[in-house]
């Protein structure tokens, strides 16, 4: 990349490191939850703390033409009992989605299911969610976390996939290994969500420059669009999306073969524009009381979100969103 690009990325990497570091500070999380001024900002990215709140948000999104996936927030549990509680919240959520006729589609993190406690605990907990999903014909996406967990995440997903074939995984374009992972997953007929990556990874395992991450994402997205099993393209990068739309047009790939995915509350203008252009858009909708780590990672993913969020809140306070 260019020297100017390296200089431009340096402050952003510093901010990303700061926000990722803050995401692990549980004491700050407890403080943030109780500070009223944070509520409007968090509400931009999190659909609520309770199941009734998220169901209302899902109904609104469905009415607007969006598909959805639900993330019951929580991660890095410390006991098997906490894992069981997390599985119970997913079972309750899946049942409510089925009862309301909403998209039976959820996303989960393995650290919330006991990955850092023991492999057996994690397998047992995730299997419980998979069985509940299979009984309802629901889809389960296993989210990806730091690079040190990639092999374990893929191994557990592969072992549990037979319980519920309606399942998929996430691959992060920032990781240098992702090209090989994509090839293996295409061969397995796996449904992949491709994202850029929200973790502050070392240069030995990840691309650090924005130009490199974008180039990796586009290369992997094209590969998935050609031969993947209904890939989910998770990005808010309008320029990148424009290039991918030109690619599918040139290749004659219809919108039924893939979907775009975006986070709740992020680039709502772009979400609506894609719908108007006949594209499929699924919104990633998180809810729960443990929103602090998720919220901080959204800021880390793109520190410009801080300014964007404040401006959006001010603008929307004066009238309808554009």
Q: What is the DSSP string of 107-158?
A: EE-GGGGTTTT-HHHHHHHHHHHHHHHHHHT-EEEE----GGGHHHHHHHHH
Phi, psi of 25 (to 5 degrees): -90, 90
Closest by CA position to 161, among listed 134, 186, 143, 179: 134
Question: Cα 58 from chain centroid?
Answer: 16
Which CATH number do you get for residue 250? 3.20.20.220
- 295 part of a folded domain: no
- 93 part of a folded domain: yes
- 133 part of a folded domain: yes
Task: Inform me whether the pLDDT recorded for 308 exceeds 60.
Answer: no
Identify whether the C-beta of residue 188 lies closer than 8 Å to the C-beta of residue 165.
no
**Which of 103, 143, 181, 237 is an active site residue?**
143
Supply the range of the domain harboring residue 219.
47-290
3-state SS, residue 87: helix
- 306 part of a folded domain: no
- 276 part of a folded domain: yes
Question: How far is the C-alpha of 313 from the C-alpha of 148, rounded, in Å?
Answer: 36
3-state SS, residue 105: strand
Greatest distance between any 2 Cα atoms in the chain: 55
Identify whether the C-beta of residue 305 lies closer than 8 Å to the C-beta of residue 267.
no
pLDDT of residue 40: 63
Q: What tokens does 275 get? A: 């719908």
Q: Which residues contact 15 (CB under 8 A, 6 or more apart)?
A: 300, 303
Identify the band that residue 55 occupies on the pLDDT scale cut at 50, 70 and 90.
very high
Query: Could you report the per-residue pLDDT of 71-90, keeping only the tens digit for each?
Result: 999 877 889 999 999 999 99
Q: Is 143 one of the annotated active-site residues of the chain?
A: yes
User: What is the dihedral sign for C-alpha 219, 222, 228, 234?
Assistant: positive
Q: Is 226 one of the annotated active-site residues of the chain?
A: no
Identify whether the C-beta of residue 194 lies closer than 8 Å to the C-beta of residue 233.
yes
Phi, psi of 27 (to 5 degrees): -65, -40
Question: How far is the C-alpha of 177 from the C-alpha of 174, rounded, in Å?
Answer: 9
pLDDT of residue 155: 98
Query: Could you report the per-residue pLDDT of 197-245, keeping only the tens digit for each?
Result: 978 899 999 999 999 999 999 999 999 999 999 999 999 999 999 999 9
**Overall number of domains in the chain:** 1
Q: What tokens does 231 get? A: 């890939």
Question: Cα 214 from chain centroid?
Answer: 17
Higher local confidence (pLDDT), 34 or 97: 97
Distances (CA, A) of 264 to 66, 160, 268, 302: 11, 28, 8, 15
Query: Could you report the per-residue pLDDT of 13-49, keeping only the tens digit for each?
Result: 554 554 455 444 454 444 444 444 455 667 778 898 8
Identify whether the C-beta of residue 104 lies closer than 8 Å to the C-beta of residue 96.
no
- 297 part of a folded domain: no
- 115 part of a folded domain: yes
- 193 part of a folded domain: yes
**Which of 193, 210, 282, 297 is an active site residue?**
193
Which among 2-6, 192-196, 206-210 has the top mean pLDDT?
192-196
């Amino acid at each position: 990349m260019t020297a100017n690009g390296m200089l431009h990325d340096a402050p952003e990497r510093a901010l990303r490191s700061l926000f990722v570091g803050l995401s692990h500070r549980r004491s700050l999380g407890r403080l943030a939850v109780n500070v009223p001024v944070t509520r409007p900002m968090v509400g931009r990215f999190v659909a609520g703390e309770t199941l009734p709140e998220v169901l209302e948000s899902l109904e609104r999104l469905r009415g607007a033409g969006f598909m959805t996936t639900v993330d019951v927030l929580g991660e890095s549990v410390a006991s098997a009992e906490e894992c069981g509680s997390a599985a119970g919240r997913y079972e309750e959520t899946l049942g409510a989605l089925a009862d309301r006729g909403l998209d039976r589609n959820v996303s989960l993190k393995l650290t919330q299911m006991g990955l850092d406690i023991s492999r057996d605990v994690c397998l047992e907990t995730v299997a419980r969610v998979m069985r509940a999903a299979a009984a309802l014909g629901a889809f389960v996406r296993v989210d990806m976390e730091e690079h040190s967990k990639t092999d374990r995440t893929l191994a557990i997903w592969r072992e549990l996939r037979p319980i519920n074939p309606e399942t998929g995984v996430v691959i992060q374009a920032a990781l240098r290994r992702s090209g090989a992972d994509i090839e293996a997953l295409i061969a397995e007929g796996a449904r992949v969500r491709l994202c850029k990556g929200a973790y502050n990874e070392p240069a030995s395992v990840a691309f650090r420059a924005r130009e490199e991450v974008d180039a990796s994402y586009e290369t992997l997205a094209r590969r998935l669009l050609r031969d993947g099993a209904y890939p989910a393209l998770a990005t808010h990068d309008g320029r990148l999306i424009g290039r991918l739309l030109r690619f599918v047009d040139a290749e004659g790939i219809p919108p039924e073969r893939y979907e775009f995915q975006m986070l709740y509350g992020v680039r709502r203008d772009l979400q609506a524009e894609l719908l108007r252009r006949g594209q499929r858009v699924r919104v990633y909708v998180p809810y729960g009381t443990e929103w602090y780590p998720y919220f901080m990672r959204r800021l880390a993913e793109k520190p410009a979100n801080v300014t964007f969020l404040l401006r959006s809140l001010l603008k929307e306070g004066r009238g309808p969103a554009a």
